[in-house]
Structure 1
C-alpha cells in the first residue's frame, strides 16, 4: 500500500523528499522506514524509479543555473559571482563523493554549459 503510493508519486515526477512530506502530511506516515522497513529512495531504486542525479546535487545544479542566469542580466553583481564560485565548488565536492560511493558514473562531470539541460 505505502510502496504503491511512493511509486505513484514518483511517476508524477516528485522527488523523494517531496514524497516523504506528502506521506507525512496527508497519509499520517511519519517515517517510511518504520512502516516498510526500507527508505523511500531504496523503494524507488527497487522499482527502477530513482532519479539519475542525487537530489541534493540536482538542487545545487539548479541553484548554479539560476545564479548564472541572474549574472547574464546583472554582470557587475560581484557578490553573485562569488556565490556562484561557492556553489560550483560544492557541486564538484559532492560529485567527487558520489563518484566514490558509485552513485554517479565515474565519467560524470559538471559543466556549466550543459548544466541547464540537466535540470530542465
Structure 2
C-alpha cells in the first residue's frame, strides 16, 4: 500500500503531525504544541525535498 512507498522516517513524522492536529482540534489554546507542529511540518518538508533530490520520490510527489 501507501506505507511501503513512503520511507519510515517520513511516515512517522506525518503520523505524529496528524495526531497533533487532532489534539489541536480539541485544545486550540495549546501554544506549545502549535509550535511543535510547525517544527514537525518543517521537518516533513525538508525530508520530502531530500527524497525528491535523491530520486526516491518523483518530482511531482506531494
TM-score computed with the length of structure 2 as normaliser: 0.92
Higher relative contact order (CA closer than 8 Å, sequence separation 6+): 2
**Alignment of 1:52 onto 2:33:** no
Residues paired across the two proteins, number: 60
The correspondence for 1:100, drawn from 50, 53, 56, is 53
* Counterpart residue number, 1:75: 28
Task: Note the residue ranges of structure 2 that are not aligned, 5 or more in a row.
Answer: none
CA distance in 1 between counterparts of 2:23 and 2:12 reads: 17
- Segments of 4+ in structure 1 off by > 3 A? none
CA distance in 2 between counterparts of 1:61 and 1:84 reads 10
2:19 equivalent in structure 1: 66
Larger radius of gyration: 1
Cα distance in 2 for partners of 1:83, 1:70 equals 12
Runs of 5+ consecutive residues of structure 1 not aligned to the other structure: 1-49, 110-120
Structure richer in helix, relative to its length? 2
CA offsets 1:64-111 (integer angstroms, 9 cap, x no match) = 0000000001000000000000000000000000000111111112xx
